[in-house]
């Protein structure tokens, strides 16, 4: 009997999952708060990082250098005058006093300069022509004067002619260099964008990959082939040309590929599927050819293509034709994978989390002829991953990674790394110098259930209704035979939920019909508890009903757990991009069968609702005790709920009973 696929994990009972994370194996049941309209306003746009000014172009540098030269040699090229600045009246007074030795008059600027009898120079500005009286005064005082017309400097006469010419020449040189740069970019657009990692300095080995011993054993023969290819040639063995790593996101597929390169000590070319695509026709195929040429030059190398599903989708699928750029890139890759021999020492590795949409020609023997599943880590692997990510952290003595590994089923390696980092952030917020157990607990609640909404204040009636709602979930999780063990229950708002009941499912690979019925019964617990205590319903059970209906539908349609429908399964319609016909009818069964399926789903839900009512009426006193404890402490663990249930059955005096009026 093939193992059944795991059921859809019940997400936190908050009506939605804003963070987008779904952890299989974590069951949370809670009361959904009514959605309130949010003030959308004008949200700030995602600002880009301000870019600083780039380096100056070469023509600007030349202009700055020319100005610097002019500042240095300009005073030497242009005539200047030095000495005392006098007014024309002061100049005539000095002439009358006989203190002027000689005078030179510039016909172009009307500037008068000269030398005093004391040896000092002077300058002044007079009329265009000296009057007869002034000339007589100069003659009478014996002043040596003359008129002069200075010749223009050769440099100043060439500047008006050379400057426009130099600017035009510089502009054409700049345009030519820009054109050459663009031509160079166009010529190199078909080159591969693969990153080449240095084989002599491996940054990742198998020691850096915690757990996954089975995956390591499958990949080890690739490493042995790259290290010792002669042994394989002697016996005639052929190592697979292509290895496809398949698994959910965050399980470390890329990390495995880098570890293989580090262990083998060969060249490692890494590229993503999107790097092959460009707006120009034929660029993708050209980059594929260049990538394999680079690998051949290395002799022995590993080509790793991450997210290969972006270019490896089925050809001819959907509305597109068979000559688009993506399909031509895939055709070239298929040809290149058949174009070299295994003895060349080139191994292709690829990673994807969507193997169902890959082209069959890509997966046939001789290409990607081996698929290695990289699943979500089990308990031992989660423990090893937590130890790897915690080795550079300052951990407290009360931290038990073994307990934390058991409490995080369904988490990937990336989730566990984020969990350790979140716990460190919580420790910093508390002002602690080390990570303690309470930090791990808060980080796990933050990752799984969402952020705590301390600003949300519930009314007395809302808080009381939430307490009974969560108490209904908690009691059913405690007393049902096939239920997952209860971890804790809280009425503190987290995420979009007003309260959460958290169970920790045991790791299993097949699920029974009794298990699914208990899951649906637990989902009905909050709704039924409110009906028993208050006699009316509200919107708090919306997410519970959604989870229960989804599981009941899969029981009838996919898992054959309905006697009326029988051993038949109908999956969801395949999408157009998977190669299905656009006009195919989405339903594979008749109207009579659809009516039968709907009736069976409704029957399962009704039966489990009635079952939940019978159990909670039997444990009516325990329901009051658990709700009262929640109103008092807001959060209680599974063991405390079990003691309160036993106390309710034994009829012992209640420690704290939930009040029946509006006063808490």
Catalytic site positions = 470
CB 280 within 8 A of CB 189: yes
**Structure token pair of residue 10:** 């019940």
Is the four-CA dihedral 453, 455, 461, 464 of positive or negative sign? positive
Task: Confirm if 560 and 566 have CB atoms less than 8 A apart.
Answer: yes
Cα separation, 593 vs 598, in Å, equals: 9
Partners of residue 28 on adjacent β-strands: 502
- The sheet carrying 301-306 orders its strands as 195-197, 267-272, 301-306, 346-352, 242-246, 370-373
Distance between CA atoms of residues 149 and 107, nearest Å:
5
Q: Return d(Cα 331, Cα 324) in angstroms, integer.
A: 11
Give the separation between CA 64 and CA 83, rounded to whole angstroms.
Answer: 32
Q: Half-sphere exposure (CA, 13 Å, Cβ side) for 233? A: 10
Q: What secondary structure does DSSP assign to 18-64, as a single string?
A: TT----TT-EEEEEEPPP-------PPP-PPPPPPP-PPPHHHHHHH
State both tokens at 109: 């600027």
User: In what helix (H) or strand (E) does residue 644 lie, and over which residues does it extend?
Assistant: helix 638-650
The position carrying tokens 């500005």 is: 125
Q: Which residues contact 229 (CB under 8 A, 6 or more apart)?
A: 300, 343, 345
Q: Could you give the count of Cα atoms lying within 13 Å of 94 in the half-sphere of its Cβ?
A: 23
From CA 403, how far away is CA 406, in angstroms rounded? 5
Q: Is 32 exposed, middle or buried (0-12, 13-18, 19+ CB in 10 A)?
A: buried
> 168: part of which helix (H) or strand (E)?
helix 154-187
Write out the two tokens for 506.
């045991």
């Amino acid at each position: 009997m093939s193992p059944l696929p795991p059921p859809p994990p019940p997400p936190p009972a908050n009506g939605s999952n804003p963070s987008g994370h779904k952890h299989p194996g974590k069951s949370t049941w809670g009361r959904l708060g009514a959605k309130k309209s949010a003030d959308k306003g004008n949200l700030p746009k995602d600002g880009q990082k301000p870019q600083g000014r780039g380096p100056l172009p070469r023509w600007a540098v030349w202009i700055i250098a020319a100005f610097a030269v002019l500042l240095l040699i300009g005073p030497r090229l242009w005539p200047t005058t030095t000495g005392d600045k006098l007014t024309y009246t002061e100049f005539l007074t000095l002439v009358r006093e006989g203190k002027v030795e000689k005078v030179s008059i510039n016909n172009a600027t009307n500037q008068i300069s000269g030398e005093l009898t004391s040896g000092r120079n002077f300058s002044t500005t007079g009329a265009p022509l000296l009057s007869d009286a002034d000339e007589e005064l100069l003659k009478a005082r014996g002043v040596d004067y003359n008129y002069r017309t200075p010749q223009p400097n050769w440099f100043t006469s060439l500047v008006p002619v050379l400057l426009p010419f130099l600017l035009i020449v510089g502009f054409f040189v700049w345009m030519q260099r820009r054109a050459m740069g663009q031509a160079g970019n166009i010529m190199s657009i078909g080159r591969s964008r693969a990153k080449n990692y240095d084989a002599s300095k491996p940054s990742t080995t198998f020691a850096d990959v915690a757990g996954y011993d089975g995956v390591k054993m499958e990949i080890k023969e690739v490493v042995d082939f790259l290290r010792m290819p002669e042994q394989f040639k002697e016996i005639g063995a052929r190592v697979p040309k292509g290895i496809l790593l398949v698994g959910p996101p965050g399980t470390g597929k890329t990390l495995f590929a880098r570890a293989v390169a580090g262990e083998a000590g060969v060249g490692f070319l890494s590229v993503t599927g999107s790097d092959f695509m460009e707006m120009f026709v034929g660029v993708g195929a050209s980059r594929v050819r260049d990538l394999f040429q680079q690998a051949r030059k290395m002799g022995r190398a590993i080509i790793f293509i991450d997210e290969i599903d972006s270019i490896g989708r089925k050809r001819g699928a959907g509305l597109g034709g068979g000559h688009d750029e993506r399909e031509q890139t895939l055709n070239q890759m298929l040809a290149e994978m058949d174009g070299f021999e295994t003895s060349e020492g080139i191994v292709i590795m690829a990673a994807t989390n969507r193997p169902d949409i890959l082209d069959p020609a890509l997966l046939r023997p001789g290409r990607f002829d081996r698929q290695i599943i990289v699943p979500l880590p089990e308990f031992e692997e989660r423990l090893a991953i937590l130890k790897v990510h915690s080795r550079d952290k300052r951990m407290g003595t009360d931290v038990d990674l073994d307990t934390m590994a058991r409490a995080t089923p369904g988490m990937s390696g990336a989730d566990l790394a984020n969990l350790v980092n979140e716990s460190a952030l919580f420790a910093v917020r508390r002002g602690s110098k080390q990570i303690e157990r309470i930090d791990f607990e808060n980080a796990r609640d933050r990752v799984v259930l969402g952020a705590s909404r301390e600003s949300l204040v519930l009314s007395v009636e809302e808080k009381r209704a939430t307490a009974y709602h969560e108490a209904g979930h908690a009691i059913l999780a405690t007393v049902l035979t096939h239920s997952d063990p209860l971890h804790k229950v809280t009425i503190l708002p987290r995420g979009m939920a007003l309260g959460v009941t958290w169970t920790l499912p045991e790791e299993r690979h097949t699920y029974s019909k009794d298990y699914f019925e208990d899951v649906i019964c637990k989902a009905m617990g909050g709704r039924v508890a409110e009906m028993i205590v208050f006699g009316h319903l509200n919107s708090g059970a919306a997410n519970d009903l959604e989870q229960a209906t989804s599981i009941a539908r899969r029981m009838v349609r996919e898992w054959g757990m309905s006697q009326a429908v029988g051993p038949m399964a109908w999956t969801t319609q395949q999408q157009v991009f998977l190669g299905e016909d656009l006009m195919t009818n989405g339903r594979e069964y008749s109207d009579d069968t659809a009516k039968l399926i709907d009736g069976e789903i409704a029957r399962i839900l009704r039966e489990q609702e009635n079952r939940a009512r019978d159990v909670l009426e039997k444990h009516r006193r325990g329901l009051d005790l658990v709700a009262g404890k929640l109103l008092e402490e807001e959060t209680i663990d599974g063991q405390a709920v079990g003691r309160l249930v036993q106390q309710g059955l034994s009829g012992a005096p209640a420690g704290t009973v939930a009040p029946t009026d509006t006063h808490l």
